[in-house]
Amino acid sequence: MIVHKKRIFFLMFGVFTLLFIAGCCANIKQMPAAAGTPQIEKNNVVFKGGKSQSGSVQMISVEVYCPTGDGTNDIKIGWAGTSSGSGELASINFPEAHFGDGPSKVEIKACHHNSMRVEAFDQNNNMIADAAIPSNEQHVSKTLVLQGGNIRRIDVIGAEIGINDVCW
């Protein structure tokens, strides 16, 4: 009986260690299609649509989007414009209740039909990293890596964006 409990302990310890080392992902491709909504949550990561300067909320959805015809669902951000004035950018958020100070590294697999840039912020709203998919690299999935501190929020800037997955 004691040997059996030790084996279970070591097996569980190994699984937790593997999960810690390998990290986690939002697994967006496993999400069912969903019509426009201001916010989507997957594996405790919160994706928010932006707000225009006039205050209208920009909806996000889950659909096969970019790259076109790949057959996997993405979180579609149709517009992620300016945050000046009363506007807000679309964002990817790591709530303190689930992520503490936030992950130290985030990888975003994404694609765009127009443009895309991301900026990572810590809990004090200090920008700690940024990355972009060049405008001439449309319709191709790329992985953007953000690191350099604990990430609480990632602003998404651009238009016609498909977030394929987010891993931390």
Per residue in 102-154, pLDDT (tens digit) is 999 999 999 999 999 999 999 999 999 999 999 999 999 999 999 999 999 99
Structure confidence at residue 79 (pLDDT): 81
Mean pLDDT, the chain, as a whole number? Answer: 88
pLDDT at 120: 98
pLDDT of 37-76, one tens digit each?
A: 999 999 999 999 998 888 889 999 999 999 988 999 999 9
Evaluate if residue 18 carries a pLDDT over 90: no
User: If pLDDT is split at 50, 70 and 90, which confidence band does 10 have?
Assistant: very low
The reported pLDDT for the residue numbered 69 is: 86
Name the band, by pLDDT with cuts 50, 70 and 90, for residue 14. Answer: very low
The per-residue pLDDT for 138 is 94
Nearest to 110 by CA among 1, 40, 28, 15: 28
Using alpha carbons, list the distances in angstroms from residue 155 to 5, 31, 72, 94. Answer: 46, 22, 23, 12
Domain residue ranges of the chain, discontinuous segments joined by +: 25-167
Q: What are phi and psi of 16, to 5 degrees?
A: -65, -40
Q: What are phi and psi of 82, to 5 degrees?
A: -75, 150
The domain over range 25-167 is classified in CATH as 2.30.29 = no
Average pLDDT over residues 2-29: 59
